[in-house]
Structure 1
């Protein structure tokens, strides 16, 4: 997943979300019951992407299809957005749920409602084959003034890089994973930090060569930035009834063999099942 959202996005959507909460909604008007559930997504393999036929697929869309049936919801209408605009589009009412797995964060809980997490992922680093710069952590990149780090724009990895001491001039922002990977291959960047699930899936399915995951990768825990993430769906604060339905479905389905059968083709395995479900409300 990719996903992850930088906490700065809260500044963009806070005012709009506050207004929407003030308006409120009735529990009988649960999104997805009488009208299609509008699911916002951005291209972020393996969490959300298009297959060869143009169908929206990935860990999160396939999981949402199952959970929607279990929660008594109806049709899902997928709405494409840019990664950095997902929360803004949710606040503006262009969708009812953000599909890309967003990391549960106490800061964003003031503006949005997270469902129960549906996975657990860790940070990882992509480097050129052979790891010529000997990079095994964000700190390794930070102490080498001639190195450049690639990240996805508006991602939690961007915030982690800044907290590790990298100046903005040494952080190369990309709109998607392929762009960042090409930067490594062409030598315009020295490392690319993303989730372990996303990088493994990319290496196995993209056809890119001349790159590898840095092994070992030492992910130092930073204040306010844990070294792993718990992806969850994101809803508006007022959609408590929808959250309850999805939470019940997630709690019943995620630990099951059916869950693993559904997500394993996307590189998610038993190690990625959340060990403990944090309080998301």
Structure 2
């Protein structure tokens, strides 16, 4: 999953900019704590029982609106942390402690015990499934681009990007990097930026023609921009077939009991409609609710 990140100059303005800036501050503050735990031996036994005894679960988040981020008041929020608060309280763990890191460090951080669960709306992919256990997805999602206002190149799919020879960017660790390469975009030409705010800046300044991310991310970050917009969501085409992605929580492969207990609560919330009521606060629509399973996506 490693990608090469290029340095960027971000324009820290508006709510999204403040979120990213606050996230960076929080991540720096957490560095000492992470260094102290990063080399510790992963505890054996029942992870759920351990978390109940501790009364706290550490959530790995990556500062992507609206999945898991720091809001303008300095509070950790997002669809995944808010969902985690509800689920873990029902599992007997009353406190959640978000730990900020960059997206590409989420799985390594989980497996080195820097946090207990990845709570970042992470796409479930076969490659990631070889490294961690996933809950069943809480949402399904299509891709989209941030483009210059008016979409002068008519970019509505990766095929359009290839046809126009457009300059394409995406975020560090984003699944869209793989989507673009699978569609035929040369990996060496793909620009990897820090996050969605850097992507918006790059499009607005004309450094790239499009920034690829989830449809929900692009419509959130482009909202209010006078120079950029998001394109309609589109399905990725892989080996000639359209693909829909789903995002869920990630657990260490040794923590199957914890994952299964979490899954049971997610299924109850899907049936009752409570899951959608939580996610719609963050811009999700009913069309982004899903019955997909982790097993299907891992294949």
Instruction: Say whether the 8 Å CA contact 1:152–1:175 is kept in structure 2.
Output: yes
Normalized per residue, the structure richer in helix is 2
From 221, 227, 237, give the equivalent of 2:243. 227
Which residue of structure 2 lines up, in the alignment, with residue 65 of structure 1? 85
- Distance across 1 between alignment mates of 2:182 and 2:47: 44
Residues 125 and 28 of structure 1: is their aligned pair in 2 closer, same or farther, counting only changes over 3 Å?
closer
- Distance across 2 between alignment mates of 1:225 and 1:245: 33
2:57 corresponds to 1:41: no
**What TM-score, normalized by structure 1, do the two folds share?**
0.84
Which residue of structure 1 lines up, in the alignment, with residue 199 of structure 2? 180
- Distance across 2 between alignment mates of 1:77 and 1:32: 12
Deviation per CA, 1:61-117, whole angstroms, max 9, x where unpaired? Answer: 101101111222231111111111111111111111011112222332222100121
Residues 265 and 177 of structure 1: is their aligned pair in 2 closer, same or farther, counting only changes over 3 Å?
same
Q: Please state whether the residue corresponding to 2:180 is helix, strand or coil.
A: helix
From 184, 191, 202, give the equivalent of 1:165. 184
Deviation per CA, 1:4-38, whole angstroms, max 9, x where unpaired? Answer: xx4x58xxxxxxxxxx7xx7722276342112111
**What TM-score, normalized by structure 2, do the two folds share?**
0.80
- What's the RMSD between the two structures over aligned residues? 2.4
Q: Please state whether the residue corresponding to 1:198 is helix, strand or coil.
A: helix
2:135 corresponds to 1:115: yes
User: In the TM superposition, what is the alpha-carbon distance from 1:260 to its structure 2 partner?
Assistant: 2.4
Whose relative contact order is higher, 1 or 2, with alpha carbons under 8 Å and at least 6 apart? Answer: 1
Which residue of structure 1 lines up, in the alignment, with residue 274 of structure 2? 258
Gaps of 5+ in 1: 1-5, 10-19
Q: Please state whether the residue corresponding to 1:208 is helix, strand or coil.
A: coil
Q: How does 1:140-159 map to 2 (within 5 A)?
A: 140-145=160-165, 147-159=166-178
- Distance across 2 between alignment mates of 1:224 and 1:66: 40
2:258 corresponds to 1:242: yes
2:247 corresponds to 1:214: no
Residues 181 and 227 of structure 1: is their aligned pair in 2 closer, same or farther, counting only changes over 3 Å?
farther
- Distance across 1 between alignment mates of 2:274 and 2:268: 11
2:221 corresponds to 1:202: yes
Gaps of 5+ in 2: 4-40
- Distance across 2 between alignment mates of 1:70 and 1:118: 17
